[in-house]
Structure 1
Amino acid sequence: MANYYVNKNSQSNGDHEVHTSGCSWLPKEENRIYLGNFDNCKDAVKKAKGHYDKTNGCYYCANDCHTT
């Protein structure tokens, strides 16, 4: 299980990326929302959709959920 966060700032394509707590690309604390502790990125991305319509897994730490 891992702690997941969603970036408050969108990428150039409009996606808000979901990251694990150990990711090198994890945004600063003021630029992220804690989603919770999950077994997989799919559940974390689902939770992130409650905050933002366009969400995506980080290429580096949540690659199974990286789609764009």
Structure 2
Amino acid sequence: MAQYFVNRNAQTNGDHEVHTSTCIYLPALHNRLDLGYHTTCVTAVRQARNTYRQSNGCRTCSSVCHTQ
């Protein structure tokens, strides 16, 4: 299981990216919302969408959940 976070700041396209705790693109502490531990990014992104409807997996650490 990995710990996931969603970026409180949206990307230019409106996406709030979901990252693992070990991602090189993990946002600063004050810019992330803890999503807890998940077995896959699928459930982490689903949880992120409860807060930010337009959430997406990070291309680097959650590539399975990243959409164009």
TM-score (norm 2): 0.99
Give the C-alpha shift of residue 46 in structure 1.
Answer: 0.3
Alignment partners' CA distance in 2, 1:50 and 1:11: 18
- DSSP-derived class of the 2:47 partner: helix
Paired residues in the alignment total 68
Mark the runs of 5 or more structure 1 residues left unpaired by the alignment: none
Which residue pairs with 1:19 in the alignment? 19
The Cα offsets for residues 11-68 of structure 1, whole Å up to 9 and x where unpaired, read as 0100000000000000000000000100000000000001101000000000000002
Alignment partners' CA distance in 2, 1:39 and 1:57: 14
Moved segments of 4+, more than 6 Å: none
Alignment partners' CA distance in 2, 1:66 and 1:3: 17
Q: CA RMSD in A?
A: 0.4
Mark the runs of 5 or more structure 2 residues left unpaired by the alignment: none
